[in-house]
Chains A and B, each alone.
Chain A
Amino acid sequence: MATMKSYESNINKVNESAIDRVFMFFNNSILLVIMLIVLLPLIYIVSASFSSSEAVIEGRVILWPVDFSLQGYQTVFEHKKVWDGFANSLFYTFFGTIFNVVMTIIAAYPLSRLDLVGRRFITFAFIFTMLFSGGLIPTYMVVRDLGLLNTRWAMILPTGIGPFNLLITITFFRTTIPSELIEAARIDGASDFRIFASVVLPLARPIIAVLALFYAVNTHWNTYFMALIYLKDQELFPLQLVLREILIQNSIDASMLTDVEDLVAREGLRDLLKYSLIVVASVPVMALYPFVQKHFVKGMTIGAVK
């Protein structure tokens, strides 16, 4: 989007033919429909979460909130499990992302140096893990033998370096740090450590932002697979596992709904609660989204257009 060339504006000064105008009409109509198909379910969720439980259960919510109420949110925030899950997810995401970014950067810089002996072999060793892996059980056995099962470490250490992220970081270093700059620093007597710390790292800020986003969202905040395999204690569960219990397995702590006497109202609250929970769980990422979108695009394009 930022790289969009301005050729359109030159071309469009020429009068469009009838066939082009018909084409554009259909083109834009289809895009509008696609946009609505994506948008409407999202609007519905938010609207339902702000409606009363009666309106939700009777199916009166179509597009806008009906009988505006914060009942759902109140129930969500009174739920200790949700708070614990939220806190755990923040913990895993924060420390996990730091670990991922540091590891990726210290691996990518040496591998971006064309004068490194063994560069191709080591890079291939990383990329190969994208094509083939030992599998679920052997990986589980390694984590088990290291004594990491059911600890917070199990959520952080195995994530390490994503091969795709390593590739885009290597490409970034190759294309943005001129080898003349590194040679000049060497001639001035700087060691590789010194060059890494005072030349490479300051220039790496954009790629660090991209990596942090990729890892935080894709590897940590939004996943539940590792937690499902490695964790047993409820107190260690990330938010996504708590969500799974409530949204998918439909197991809601009855104590959450005690102040509601009526069985029907209780059923309604159960559904309302889910909509509010969906909103609460998605807000942290969605709130960041408009600011980070361009970084995501940048990251994807570094990888694709070499």
Chain B
Amino acid sequence: MLSFRWNRVTGDGKLWLRVRRNWQLYVLLILPLLWLAIFRYAPMYGAQIAFRQYSPAFGIEGSPWVGLANFERFVNSPKFEPVIVNTLVISFYALLAGFPIPILLALSLNQVKSRFFRNSVQMITFAPHFISTVVIVGMLFQFLHPRVGFTAALAGMLDQPSPNWMGDPGAFRHIFVWSGIWQEMGFSSIIYFAVLSTIDPSLHEAAVVDGANRLQRIRYIDIPGLLPTAMVLLVLSTGRVLEVAFEKVYLMQSPLNLGVAEVINTYVYKVGLLSPILDFSYSTAIGLLKGIVGLLLMIAVNHAARRLTNHSVW
């Protein structure tokens, strides 16, 4: 404390003195900053190949400048519409269905009187979060297998023809979204549950004295208490609507469902690293477009959230 004040009275050189006094802290930061520059900011510099016709022979700066040609090519390509539509439909479906469920789960768990029951539900719903994406999709393939799967066994018991859901393009989105909810609802509810436990108990006590029932207490105490956290998380996930989880979509794709399952991220990967003629510039342009739109979207939603509810991320 003493030294802070001392810094303040030294006037002119105070900033430099503070830097010099803390030089060892900057030494600690050297490696992290070096890593940040190489693995996070160098790619941002390299993203300029979106505006060039990149060829390995000329390097990043040496490749010819083509302006927005790569972006125009994507916007005018027949792939543009389906890829954008698929991305948005999957994202908003996942958001609309997946956002309220953890909140409801937390509200509902918060009402449970038995500690044992509450902990059991939490422990079990939390568990699938730790299962890897590959295993989850592997499980889906096994369960929904038209011949040996769980659904086939069930259909057999009911004397129904067994469905082939994994091969059905119409089922793809539902399977993707609801398996995601199955896996993550417990984990996502943790934050809300933690926030509920910070709500002042005297509010509930006063409400009980006034004759409020449980539903009314949820409506007028718990939900308003969750609103700030919910808003922050909503803004963050809206900023990520174009980032449909690559790992899972890519695993669930098959020639049968590609019409509904091709999203921006998988398309970027295929154009850039998988196709016979690799097109780094084109792929980067699509990725960059996604990144910029995502950033703008997040800023817009944050602004709207602040206007409407007075809660926002920044």
Closest residue on chain A to residue B183 by CB atoms: A38
Stretch at the interface among A127-135, A204-212, A255-263: A127-135
Interface residues of A in 224-247 (CB under 8 A from B): 224-225, 229, 240, 243-244, 247
A243: B residues at CB distance < 8 A:
132, 134-135, 138
A126: B residues at CB distance < 8 A:
36
Interface residues of B in 271-294 (CB under 8 A from A): 272-273, 280, 283-284, 287-288, 290-292, 294
Q: Are A191 and B24 in contact (CB under 8 A)?
A: yes
Q: Are A278 and B139 in contact (CB under 8 A)?
A: yes
Q: Are A192 and B288 in contact (CB under 8 A)?
A: no
Q: Are B36 and A161 in contact (CB under 8 A)?
A: yes
Asked if A28 CB lies within 8 Å of chain B CBs, one says yes
Asked if B85 CB lies within 8 Å of chain A CBs, one says no
Q: How many A-B contacts if CB must be within 8 Å? A: 302
Complex alpha-carbon distance, A3 and B144, angstroms: 40
Q: Are A110 and B25 in contact (CB under 8 A)?
A: yes
Q: Are A135 and B287 in contact (CB under 8 A)?
A: yes
Per-position contact with A for B89-120: 1 when CB-CB < 8 Å, else 0?
A: 00000000000000001001101110101111
A229 and B273 contact, Cβ closer than 8 Å, known pairs A28-B112, A56-B148, A138-B284:
yes
Asked if B241 CB lies within 8 Å of chain A CBs, one says no
Q: Are B291 and A223 in contact (CB under 8 A)?
A: no
Per-position contact with A for B192-218: 1 when CB-CB < 8 Å, else 0?
A: 011101100100110010000111000
B142: A residues at CB distance < 8 A:
45, 48, 247, 271, 274-275, 278
Q: Are B1 and A161 in contact (CB under 8 A)?
A: no
Stretch at the interface among B39-47, B71-79, B168-176, B255-263: B39-47
Closest residue on chain B to residue A245 by CB atoms: B134
Asked if B9 CB lies within 8 Å of chain A CBs, one says no
Asked if A175 CB lies within 8 Å of chain B CBs, one says no
Asked if A254 CB lies within 8 Å of chain B CBs, one says no
Asked if A41 CB lies within 8 Å of chain B CBs, one says yes
B80: A residues at CB distance < 8 A:
none
A135 and B194 contact, Cβ closer than 8 Å, known pairs A129-B36, A142-B38:
no
Per-position contact with B for A101-120: 1 when CB-CB < 8 Å, else 0?
A: 00100110111010111100
Q: Which of A115, A141, A225, A293 has the most CB of B within 10 A?
A: A141
Q: Are B280 and A42 in contact (CB under 8 A)?
A: no
Q: Are A34 and B36 in contact (CB under 8 A)?
A: no
Q: Are B135 and A135 in contact (CB under 8 A)?
A: no
B186 to chain A: closest CB distance in Å?
7
Complex alpha-carbon distance, A141 and B46, angstroms: 8
Interface residues of A in 30-50 (CB under 8 A from B): 30-31, 34-35, 37-39, 41-42, 44-45, 48
Q: Are B269 and A136 in contact (CB under 8 A)?
A: yes
Q: Are A41 and B272 in contact (CB under 8 A)?
A: no
B19: A residues at CB distance < 8 A:
117-118
Complex alpha-carbon distance, A6 and B312, angstroms: 31
Q: Are B2 and A183 in contact (CB under 8 A)?
A: yes
Complex alpha-carbon distance, A138 and B191, angstroms: 34
Per-position contact with A for B130-143: 1 when CB-CB < 8 Å, else 0?
A: 11111101110111
B83: A residues at CB distance < 8 A:
none
Interface residues of A in 249-306 (CB under 8 A from B): 271, 274-275, 277-278, 281-282, 285-286, 289-290, 293, 296-297, 300-301, 303-305
Residues of A participating in the B interface, judged by any CB pair closer than 8 Å: 1, 3-5, 7-8, 10-12, 14, 17, 19-20, 23-24, 27-28, 30-31, 34-35, 37-39, 41-42, 44-45, 48, 56-57, 59-62, 103, 106-107, 109-111, 113, 115-118, 122, 125-126, 129, 131-142, 146, 157-158, 160-161, 179-180, 183, 186-187, 191-193, 196, 217, 221-225, 229, 240, 243-244, 247-248, 271, 274-275, 277-278, 281-282, 285-286, 289-290, 293, 296-297, 300-301, 303-305
12 A/B residue pairs, CB under 8 Å, sorted by A: A4-B197, A7-B201, A42-B128, A106-B28, A131-B239, A134-B43, A134-B46, A160-B39, A222-B133, A247-B135, A278-B135, A305-B198
* 8 A-B pairs closest in CB distance: A134-B43, A247-B138, A7-B201, A59-B153, A135-B287, A107-B32, A138-B46, A192-B24
Residues of B participating in the A interface, judged by any CB pair closer than 8 Å: 1-4, 7, 15, 18-19, 22-29, 31-33, 35-36, 38-47, 49, 60, 105, 108-109, 111-113, 115, 117-128, 130-135, 137-139, 141-143, 145, 147-150, 152-153, 156, 182, 185-187, 190-191, 193-195, 197-198, 201, 204-205, 208, 213-215, 229, 239, 246-247, 251, 265, 268-269, 272-273, 280, 283-284, 287-288, 290-292, 294-295, 298
Contacts A4-B197, A142-B46, A281-B134 supplied; 16 other A-B pairs, CB < 8 Å? A14-B208, A19-B215, A27-B112, A38-B182, A45-B142, A113-B25, A134-B45, A135-B47, A137-B268, A138-B49, A179-B1, A224-B132, A224-B133, A240-B132, A243-B135, A296-B190
